[in-house]
Amino acid sequence: MKTAEDYLSGHVLLIDKPLHWTSFQVVNKLRWEIRRAFDIKKIKVGHAGTLDPLATGLLVICTGKMTKQIDTFQGQAKEYTGTFVLGSSTPSYDLESEIDQTYPTSHITEDLIKSTTSQFVGDIHQFPPVFSALKKDGKRLYEFARAGEEVDIPSRLVNISEFEITAIDGLNVNFRVVCSKGTYIRSLANDFGKALNSGAHLSALRRTKIGDFNVEDALTPEEFIKSLPSE
């Protein structure tokens, strides 16, 4: 069992983030529980890469002196699995907002879906979603979006090294993606729909890997808390 000194000197925790939790909530919960379990007044805790509330999967949490490694972990390649829904789009590119447009899908075949992935492999320019936590002029982009304000967002260069369609069930397309830091899978969903001369949005997302870290080795917040010393 880990000691207070282990967490203070630096430890890496692999956490499987539940649906609807923010990454910030996970960090706050774990920090509070570690302080409670070991009667520590203060300890640094941070995560190496945000997951949206509607995503699940791997969060790399660093404590103590290991927080200095967060930038290193953030820069490593990430793997995601999830589902695109074809034929409709949302302003947030996922289910955070309601469907606002629908598109024809009768021309879309399984072969077209699979061949279109090649357009998104390698270095690509991508526009981040307006519903994101990126900052412009000191404000989060989602603040502009929720206020109905138009904002110019520059595209960014990202890298997608693998993009695989794993299953197709009607308009639901399951995928696996390996990508660089800064890639938005929501934007990939939106762009993929456009490339099919239709539309698409993200309905499910799970982060499975960051570098050599795998979600299969991760604990849920509840499991981690149970592993701590109790009073």
Q: What Å distances lie between residue 214 and 22, 31, 109, 154, 182, CA to CA? A: 20, 22, 33, 32, 19
- Pair 220, 15: CB distance under 8 Å: yes
Name the phi and psi angles at 29, rounded to 5: -65, -45
Q: What Å distances lie between residue 175 and 96, 144, 162, 168, 229, CA to CA? A: 20, 31, 10, 9, 40
Q: Is 123 a catalytic residue?
A: no
Q: Which amino acid is at 213?
A: F
185/57 Cα distance (integer angstroms): 14
157/124 Cα distance (integer angstroms): 6
Q: What Å distances lie between residue 136 and 98, 129, 142, CA to CA? A: 24, 13, 10
Could you tell me which of 82, 117, 91, 86 has the C-alpha nearest to residue 103? 86
Name the phi and psi angles at 33, rounded to 5: -70, -35
Q: Which amino acid is at 16?
A: D
The residue from 6, 16, 52, 94 that is catalytic is 52
Catalytic (active-site) positions: 52
